[in-house]
Amino acid sequence: MLSRTTFLTVAAPAFRFIATLSIFFVLASPPAPAQKKRSSVEQTPARAWVKQECSQGVELRLTSVDPRQGSLQLVEITGALPLGDVTGQWDGNEVPFWKHEPTANKALDEWRALLGIDLDHATGPGNFTISLKTASGESSTCTVNLTVKPGQFAIEALKVAPQFVEPNPEQLARAQAEQQRLRQIYATVTPEKLWSGKFRIPIVGATTGGNFGKRRVLNGEPSSPHSGVDIPAPAGTAIHAAQRGRVVLAEPLYFSGNTVVVDHGLGVYTLYAHLSAFDTKVGDTLDAGQILGKVGDTGRVTGPHLHWGLTVNRARVNALDVLKLLN
């Protein structure tokens, strides 16, 4: 029997991978119906541009200069003159831009990027640097001062049987190897943008998800935060690709069960866990909305649901954030 206490914190401890990352999957459970109103597509904050002049004729716009841990930002560069290349740097990772067809002023050259703030990123100031190159070859840089705010994630204290906190050496070795594989996948940046238009929630009719960033304290030992959104759905419910992309992993993992990872290009990946069945394989190119599997309860979970994750340039962010940022 589990006893649990839930409360809120305004800061998440620094990320560290030990067995605790995998321990979440031991006790993962779908959010209760009462949680449905906590986090929904409709409640995602509307876009509110912050503007900054980078150089003469070049303007930078982004959704926030004080983003929260685990959030996703949209960045836009517009130039009166054609730009030959735009790249960014944040938290030691490259932030790739893509050329966007502007909907308002066709005379402006427009580039966009997705900037992920990892759910365990240190709070406080940081520099987001953008390198610009005009079509004529002139180079310049633009620096934006961001202040990362606490994510205000829930914490749940649980008392569990010792085997859930202390996996045996074989289980731990497998979990660490699988985590290393995922890290290698997320570190690979496909230079092409594979998606087009808006992302969609993977379950038809779903508007909510819960547990993102939630941290469990097991027998007094803090585990790593929950890096995905749990979407409740009956076993066998079809799971759809959130956007066009290429399948780079489709196999059973110890803690997350049957798992699919889709590469959408430019360092953007979605993950679908605990599936009961696969409808895709590694190497497949999926269209937006194409069925990739079915909801299940494989891996270390207590009931059927979809664990949906989004990683952008190695940053674990709330997957619900992407649903309103793109057009």
Neighbours of 269 (CB within 10 A): 23
Q: Which ranges constitute the DSSP H helices of the chain? A: 19-27, 162-165, 169-187
Q: Six-digit token pair at 277?
A: 């069945």
Per-residue pLDDT tens digits for 55-100: 778 899 999 999 999 999 999 998 888 888 899 999 999 999 999 8
Q: Six-digit token pair at 163?
A: 């085997």
Crossing angle of helices 19-27/169-187, nearest 10°? 100
Task: Calculate mean pLDDT across residues 278-292.
Answer: 98
CA angle 321, 120, 30 (to 5 degrees): 60
Per-residue pLDDT tens digits for 175-210: 999 999 999 999 999 999 999 999 999 999 998 899
Domains of the chain: 3-42+151-323 (2.70.70.10), 50-148 (2.60.40.10)
Task: Calculate mean pLDDT across residues 296-306.
Answer: 91
